[in-house]
Amino acid sequence: MFDLFFKAVCGGYDKNFSYIIGDPKEKTLGLIDASISLENLQSSLDLAYKKGYTNISKIFLTHSHHDHIAYLAEIQAKTQAQVYAHQAAENRIQKIIDLKINYIHHEQILNLGSEQIRAIHTPGHQPDCICFIWRNKIFTGDTLFVEGCGRCNFPESSPEDQFESLHFIANQLDPNLEVYPGHNYGSVGHSTIAREKEVNKYLKTKDKNIWLALRAGNGKLEV
Ligand SMILES: [Fe+2]
């Protein structure tokens, strides 16, 4: 009866992940990022429907880059889901899609049925980057990858903010949180904050100037 649903789906523009999460009590589904087409989400959604879940009721966007909102219009039109993004995305998403967005802020608690999702603002890669914490999982978008982090050489990027955001993740959050990134760029699909603190140079490097030099040197390696 209280069968938790969680599924990672990989594909999209460049090894993107979308994640389907379910509230086992109210049997409603949430989607982290709209990176994967409905067609390619369908087999995972069918698994959820077999467990008694209904349709996607909320879509949570880790940021407004094109690959993360690629199928937003399609999925929202089909599901009528409410859409959540950081308030810094306000002028970005609506230039691309005519859609009602619920804008959220740092440390806002969101509901998915009876489940709670904590939004953490993590600017750097983009000003509107958010990580979402649900149960024992953190969805990190392009803020933190397994063994890497999002590039910071877009015009809107801020390497200094990225350093602070990663510092926050490394030092202020539960190290046992499982890390689910926006792209499948690591040697494994997901990780933990504790593991990343051991193996990820962007979490290991504590000196800001060394970190900035490291990030600048690798600026073109990742999306
Ligand atoms: Fe991005």
Task: Report how far ligand 1's centroid is from the alpha carbon of 3 (Å).
Answer: 32
184 CA to middle of ligand 1, Å?
13
Distance CA 215, CA 201 (A): 10
- Count CA atoms closer than 13 A to 77's CA, side-chain side: 8
Reading the chain (223 residues) residue by residue, the pLDDT tens digits are 568 899 999 999 999 999 999 999 999 999 999 999 999 999 999 999 999 999 999 999 999 999 999 999 999 999 999 999 999 998 788 788 889 999 999 999 999 999 999 999 999 999 999 999 999 999 999 999 999 999 999 999 999 999 999 999 999 999 999 999 999 999 999 999 999 999 999 999 999 999 999 998 765 444 4
Residue 199 falls inside a structural domain: yes
Packed helices 208-217 and 159-172: angle between N→C axes, nearest 10 degrees: 120
The CATH number of the domain holding residue 174 is 3.60.15.10
The residues near 118 (Cβ < 8 Å, ≥ 6 apart) are 107, 108, 109, 110, 132, 133, 134
Question: pTM of the prediction?
Answer: 0.96
Distance, CA 222 to ligand 1 centroid (Å)?
9
Ligand 1 centroid to Cα of residue 197, in Å, is: 22
Domain tally for the chain?
1
> Do 21 and 32 form a contact (C-beta atoms < 8 A)?
yes
Q: How far, in Å, from the CA of 63 to the mean position of ligand 1?
A: 7
Q: What is the pLDDT of residue 223?
A: 43
Q: Is residue 223 in a domain?
A: no
Domain that holds residue 113: 5-217
Q: Distance, CA 53 to ligand 1 centroid (Å)?
A: 30
Please check whether residue 202 lies inside any domain of the structure: yes
Domain assignment present for 129: yes
Radius of gyration of the chain (CA): 17
d(CA 145, ligand 1 centre) in Å: 11
d(CA 197, CA 193): 6
Residue 103 belongs to some domain of the structure: yes
Distance 16 CA to ligand 1 centre (A): 10
Site of tokens 């982290």: 32
pLDDT given for residue 93 in this prediction: 84
At residue 222, the pLDDT reads: 46
Query: In this structure, is residue 222 part of a structural domain?
Result: no
Q: Is residue 146 part of a domain?
A: yes
CA angle 104, 63, 60 (to 5 degrees): 55
Ligand 1 centre from 37 Cα, in Å? Answer: 18
Structural domain includes residue 164: yes
